[in-house]
Structure 1
Amino acid sequence: MSSVTSASQPHKLTPLILWVMTLATGLVVANIYYNQPLLGDIANAFHITKAQAGQISMYTQMGYATGLLLIVPLADMFERKRLMMIDLALVVLALLIVAGAQQVWLLSVASFLLGVTSVVPQILIPMAAHLAEPHERGKKLGVVMSGLLIGILLSRTISGFVGEHFGWRSMFYIAAGLMIMMWLLMLLVVPKVQPDHKGSYSELMRSLITLVKREPKLRLAAFRGALCFACFSAFWTTLVFLLSEPPFNEGSAAAGAFGLVGAFGALAAGLIGRLSDKIDTQKLITYTVLLLLVSFVIFLLFSRSWIGLIIGVILMDMGVQATHISNQAIIFSLDGAARNRINTVYMVCYFVGGSAGTFMAAHAWGTYRWAGVCAIGIILSALVLIVHLFSLRSRTLS
């Protein structure tokens, strides 16, 4: 059996370290989403159908889930900075192969590898929780998580612009350059953090199951996160379809521009993080899930209004992001020696939920159009709220 020791904490989370970690989180996670607005250009370049091009994005997401499961737990075994330096070097290699690929099969393989290696944010987030003082952990996580969501939302806008003006391959060459600069910056600024787990990789992976069985708060947080991200993915997957119809008659550029609107919701992450340090996080989640539920009601009632969509996007991103930050504040307080494995369990569930939301929304759109997508968001967010309130009631009675 493995033994776990509590590592010392020789470094503090200074403002410089925090902002470098936040910047790295946003830039690395963006690699997963750059290809989405470029799929039409990729289809034309390789003379394939849009459905075949869409598989490129799917391979990237599958790679990311694989990396979450297999690579992120290693941060509990190996020195984290060294692990991230190696991983970032592989990200650069994958980006260059994607940019230069001349065959679809090579582009597919490189896209999968890009997803596998773009997991540095999920090492940085537990690292921020490790370095932060307990009384300000939520606040610091809020800052880093703002970088994550802004990277997700703005990556589509940026890649659409670059692809339109300079070609789709240019985006991946630019991304490779950004990763090289990020590698150097992290090498100079990010401190070394020694691992806590003493044992084999197989023991490490088996401990994931043990953590799920042992930690009810982790199970509940994973459930909340999965369904909230399912709502988020359902909306962003089908927004471009809604905007292509009357009265909007807009294309992918307009859908990408909504990423700028969603960024306002991401900016609320810092405030939510501060609140999670001061009030009961479980009760705070009640209000953040309510924001998500209300946003889909607005999407349903005001689906033909720009203002309605804008307000809904802001509320939705605030609700999803705030719930996510609160979930992570809870799970990172459970076992300091297993934060990366705890984050692995949570994030794998999170992205499985997102994939399920994308799948359900695509099918709902085909049969029920936008009303079906909104129904998915309302049903899932209401389910999260009911289960969460039941858990609060059970905790009060116990």
Structure 2
Amino acid sequence: MTGSSRLGRGLLLLMSVATGLSVASNYFAQPLLDLIGRELHLGTGEAALIVTVAQIGYGGGLFLLVPLGDLLERRRLVVSLYAATALFLLVSAAAPSGPVLLAGTALTALASVGAQIVVPFAATLAAPEERGKVVGTVMTGLLLGILLARTASGGLAELGGWRTVYWVNAALMALLAVLLRIFLPALRNEGGLRYPALLRSTLALFREQPVLRWRAGTAALSFASFTTLWTSLTFLLARPPYTWSEAGIGLFGLVGVVGSLAATVTGRFADRGLVQWTTGVGAVLMAVSWLPLGVGGHVLAWLVVGVLVLDLAQQAVLISNQNVVYALRPEVRNRLNSALLTSHFAGGAMGSALASAVWTHAGWHGVCALGAALASGALLLWTGERISARRTAPPAPQPPPAASPASPQHDADPPNPTPHPH
């Protein structure tokens, strides 16, 4: 059975929605940090820990759980993780205190990596000539989930308080677990390894694949820059000169939707052999985006421009990273995805933690300087990768010297010294 026959449009749409709603579980709290902090008596730094814990939990799940996609039957694994996510969202919804909410957040993030098993699942089902487009489509759903989570949570919080967000998402995740069990095909990759060996082999990929090391570093720094913005943006918009409500802050997440649509376009570029160019342009745009963001501390129009450019750039870097890494060793695609995205979300956790600390001591302009430095680091790593690739590339084969028509058996003889007539 061909890849294209196993992945129809309906299944691709379901997988895209499933990735979006799963990863959204980790971002609902971002526009609600002030509200949650007031109700649970948390300071600004403690409230920001909700975002950091979500990133750490997600990174842990990427390393500990995603490689299981190369060992276990994937449909069963995905359905189990979606059901667990629904359960842990209920813990967060009923949390009576900050520590319980942090625990629920960490467990939800750990289980929500089911989305990152769905992405290589779709890549495996896709026909080879459409793999970039399919990965881009599924990732568009994932990225829309990240961005629309803020809008949905702001609106739901206005209607019924911040806990309503978690109740609703828990119900949706339970529904998705049922739908994925019904419509996903059974798919098992016989890895031939026990779990400890599976984790060791994931770590070994960093040693064996230089391209993975470069791309993991680029992913970490670029996503750190991205989360630097979205962690601190809530505090900016909640205070003068903006002083927006939770719903207004949530609606601002719609600005990033335009940037998320770059995921599909990036996937098409990958199918056309332009993946390196896409990464470089994305890294440059990410660094440049912090200039209008700096002005956006007091001017809304420039803030919108900066967010649009940063989101577009982040999607370009992420999708091109995935397409490069997935092509290294298709038979261990889940482990490659685990290695890349563990680095990616570790960088996100670092960005969130640094952003909350810098906001406290240096305000918005300090945050912008941090974001620009992280993005510039991603650009430097991509440049280093390209230089390294040129140095290690095998020399182009030289064509053999042309044989003399009169005596083809003397190819190695010195040329005739008689000058060529003019």
Calculate the TM-score normalised by the size of structure 1.
0.91
Residue 66 of structure 1 aligns with which residue? 60
Match of 2:420 in 1: none
CA shift in 2, pair 1:386/1:101, >3 Å = closer
The superposition leaves residues 38-82 of structure 1 with CA deviations (integer Å, 9 ceiling, x where unpaired) of 344444544555554544444333322221121111111100000
**Where does residue 396 of structure 1 map in the other structure?**
390
Asked if 1 retains the 8 angstrom alpha-carbon contact of 2:154 and 2:249, the reply is: no
Aligned-residue RMSD, C-alpha: 2.2
Note the C-alpha offset of 1:232.
0.4
1:11–1:191 Cα contact (<8 Å) kept:
no
Q: Which moved more, 1:372-381 or 1:124-133?
A: 372-381
Aligned to 2:411: none
Of residues 198-207 and 41-50 in structure 1, the stretch that sits farther from structure 2 once superposed is: 41-50
The farther-off stretch of 206-215 and 130-139 is 130-139
- Of stretches 30-39 and 249-258 in structure 1, the one that deviates more from structure 2 is 249-258
1:275 aligns with 2:269: yes
Residues 190-215 of structure 1 show CA distances to partners (whole Å, capped at 9, x for unaligned) of 11111231111111011012111011
Compare 55-64 and 221-230 and name the one that shifted more.
Answer: 55-64
Q: Tell me how far apart the structure 2 counterparts of residues 287 and 42 of structure 1 sit (CA, whole Å).
A: 38
Report what 2:250 is aligned to.
256
Q: Percent identity?
A: 38
Specify which of 353, 357, 362 is matched with residue 351 of structure 2.
357
Structure 2 residue 260 is the aligned partner of structure 1 residue 232: no
1:93-121 deviation digits (Å, cap 9, x = unpaired): 21223223445554443332211111111
Counterpart of 2:108 in structure 1 is 114
Shift of 1:89: 1.6
Aligned match of 1:342: 336
Q: Is the 8 A contact 2:132 2:267 kept in 1?
A: yes
Runs of 5+ unmatched residues, structure 1: 1-6
Counterpart amino acid of residue 295 in structure 1? S
Change (3 A) 1:103 1:378: closer
8 Å CA contact 2:222–2:314 kept in 1: the answer is: yes
> In structure 2, what is the equivalent of residue 30 of structure 1?
24
Which of 341, 354, 368 is equivalent to 1:374?
368
TM-score by length of 2: 0.87
- Deviation of 1:165 (Å): 1.2
Q: Which residue number corresponds to residue 215 of structure 1? A: 209
Counterpart secondary structure, 2:113: coil
Q: Distance in 1 between matches of 2:331 and 2:156?
A: 42
Shifted more, 151-160 versus 162-171: the winner is 162-171
Q: 1:3 maps to which residue?
A: none
- Cα distance in 1 between the residues matched to 2:200 and 2:68: 13
Match status 1:12 vs 2:9: no
Shift of 1:391: 2.4
The equivalences for 1:1-398 within 5 A come to 12-47=6-41, 49=43, 51-102=45-96, 104-397=98-391, 398=393
Rg larger in 1 or in 2? 2
SS in structure 2 at match of 1:183: helix
2:242 is paired with a residue of what secondary structure? coil
Shift of 1:303: 3.7
Kept in 2: contact 1:20–1:190 (CA 8 A): no
Which segments of 5 or more consecutive residues in structure 2 lack a partner in the other structure? Answer: 394-422
Partner in structure 1 of residue 410 of structure 2:
none
1:338 alignment partner AA: V
Change in 2 beyond 3 A, CA 1:15/1:152: same
Q: 2: CA distance between counterparts of 1:51 and 1:228?
A: 23
Q: Distance in 1 between matches of 2:99 and 2:221?
A: 33
Q: Is the 8 A contact 2:229 2:367 kept in 1?
A: yes
Cα distance, 1:314–1:55 mapped onto 2, change above 3 Å: closer
Residue identity opposite 2:106 in structure 1: F
Do the aligned partners of residues 38 and 374 (structure 1) sit closer, same or farther apart at CA in structure 2, a change above 3 Å counting?
A: closer
Distance of 2:333 and 2:51 partners within structure 1: 29
- C-alpha change, 1:141 and 1:44, in structure 2 (3 Å) is same
**Are 1:22 and 1:144, in contact at CA under 8 Å, matched by a contact in 2?**
yes
Judged with a 3 Å threshold, the aligned counterparts in structure 2 of structure 1 residues 80 and 389 are, in CA distance, closer, same or farther, namely same
Q: Is the 8 A contact 2:25 2:112 kept in 1?
A: yes
